[in-house]
Amino acid sequence: MGLQESLASKKFVVTSEIGPPKGTNIEEMLHDAELLRGRVDGINVTDLQSSVMRLGSLAVCHLLKEKGLEPIFQMTCRDRNRLALQADLLSAYVLGIKNVLALTGDYASLGDHPQAKPVFDLDSVSLLGVIKKLEAGTDMVGGPLNGAPKFFVGAVVNPGGNPVEAQIIKMEKKISAGASFFQTQAVYDVGAFEKFMERVAPFKVPVLGGIILLKSAGMARFMNKNVAGVFVPEPLIQKMAKAEDRAKTSIEIAAELIKELKGMCQGVHIMPIGWESKVPAVLDAAKL
C-alpha cells in the first residue's frame, strides 16, 4: 500500500526519514532503511538536510523504490532554480517516485557551505503550484509536456510558529496550491499541539505530527534555544537529564508522545536524526 492509500484508509499512519550520507558509502543508510520495512507507510529522504552538502535525495529515493520501499522525495527551493526543480520533478517521476514533500528549505548559511548563493527562486507555495501545472501537462510557463507526471504531494507546517496564525494561513495556501498531507515540526508540547489541531481540523487534510527523538537534556535545551517553533517542556528535559539509559528514556518519551497524539491527528512523522536504529523500538513501545 502506498502512502496515499495508507492515508486514504484512515488508519494511523507512520512515516520516518533517512538522511543521505556525506559521501558515497550508502550501506549504513540502506541498513537503516531496511529497519523501517513493513513498519512505516513512507520514508522521507531529506534534501541536503541542515544545508549540508551530501548525497542527493533523488538518487536515494530511487534506490529505496527499487528495493520496494515507499520513499517521500523531499524537495527544497534552496539549491535549485525553477528550471532545475521542474527537471528534477520529471526525473523523479520517470524513476518511479510518487511522493513529493515540497519545502522552502533551511537557509544556506546554516550549513557547511555558508558561502553558497541561496536560490529561493520559488517558495514552498509556488513549488506546489508548479507541481500541479506539471501534472496538468505543462511547465510553469505553459509550455506543453510530452508526457505528464503524477505525484502525491505533501508539505510542512510549524505548529509552534510565531505567530501561529501566520503558519495556519500559509497552511491553507499550501492546501489550495495542492498539498494533500502535512508533516509538522517536532511536537513536545501536546497541549499546544492539540489547540493547533483544533484550528486546522476544518481543513480536512491529514496531518502527521512530528516526533524528534531526544538524545539528551542538552539537545532539548539546544532546540528550545535555537530551533524555531520547538518547545520541549522542562519535565521532559529533567527526565532525559536523570536518565540512566538515555536511549531507553528517549524511546519511552517518543512512544508516550505518539500515544497522546493518536487521538489528535492522523499519524506521526518520526525524525530520528542519527538514531534511525531506534525507530522500531519506538514503534514497539507505542504499540504500532
Partner 1 sequence: MLLSQQKPLEEILKSMEGETNIFILGCNGCAEASGTGGRPQVLEMKKELEKDGKKVTGFTVVDLLCEKALVQSRLRGKAKEVKDADSILAMTCGVGVQAVAAVSNKVTHPACNTIPLGGMRGEWRGSERCRECGDCVLEATGGICPLTACSKYLLNGACGGTTKEGKCEVDPEMECGWRLIYERLEKLGQMEKLRQIYEPKDHSKMMPPKGLRLTERWALEQGK
Point out which span in 57-65, 101-109, 146-154, 195-203 binds partner 1 (CB under 8 A): 101-109
Q: Map residue 46 onto helix, strand or coil.
A: coil
Point out which span in 12-20, 36-44, 106-114, 241-249 binds partner 1 (CB under 8 A): 106-114
What's at 267, amino acid-wise?
G
120: contact with partner 1 by CB under 8 A: yes
Smaller CB separation from partner 1, 124 or 249: 124
Kindly identify the residues of this chain, within the stretch 121-180, that bind partner 1 according to CB under 8 A.
121-126, 129, 140, 156-158, 161-163, 165-167, 169-170, 172-173, 176-177
Please, what is the minimum distance in Å from the beta carbon of residue 61 to partner 1? 23
From residue 232, give the alpha-carbon distance in Å to each of 24, 124, 238: 35, 27, 10
Q: Which among 105, 89, 108, 87 has a CA at the least distance from the CA of 97?
A: 89
Q: What distance in Å separates the CA atoms of residue 89 and residue 58, rounded to the nearest whole number?
A: 9
Write out the three cell numbers for 285.
513501545
Q: Map residue 236 onto helix, strand or coil.
A: helix
Q: Map residue 216 onto helix, strand or coil.
A: coil
Please, what is the minimum distance in Å from the beta carbon of residue 278 to partner 1? 25
Smaller CB separation from partner 1, 9 or 162: 162
Point out which span in 34-42, 66-74, 119-127, 273-281 binds partner 1 (CB under 8 A): 119-127
Please, what is the minimum distance in Å from the beta carbon of residue 228 to partner 1? 5
Q: Which residues contact 263 (CB under 8 A, 6 or more apart)?
A: none
From the centroid of its chain, how far is CA 45? 8
Please, what is the minimum distance in Å from the beta carbon of residue 121 to partner 1? 7
Please, what is the minimum distance in Å from the beta carbon of residue 231 to partner 1? 8
Please, what is the minimum distance in Å from the beta carbon of residue 189 to partner 1? 12
Q: Which among 152, 133, 150, 184 has a CA at the least distance from the CA of 73?
A: 152
Q: What distance in Å separates the CA atoms of residue 33 and residue 145, rounded to the nearest whole number?
A: 34
Kindly identify the residues of this chain, within the stretch 173-232, that bind partner 1 according to CB under 8 A.
173, 176-177, 185, 226-229
From residue 256, give the alpha-carbon distance in Å to each of 33, 213, 253: 24, 12, 5
Please, what is the minimum distance in Å from the beta carbon of residue 83 to partner 1? 11
Kindly identify the residues of this chain, within the stretch 70-89, that bind partner 1 according to CB under 8 A.
82
Q: Which residues contact 67 (CB under 8 A, 6 or more apart)?
A: 30, 33, 34
Judged by CB under 8 A, how many residues of this single chain contact partner 1?
Answer: 36
**Which residues of this protein are in contact with partner 1, per CB under 8 A?**
82, 104, 106-107, 109-110, 118, 120-126, 129, 140, 156-158, 161-163, 165-167, 169-170, 172-173, 176-177, 185, 226-229
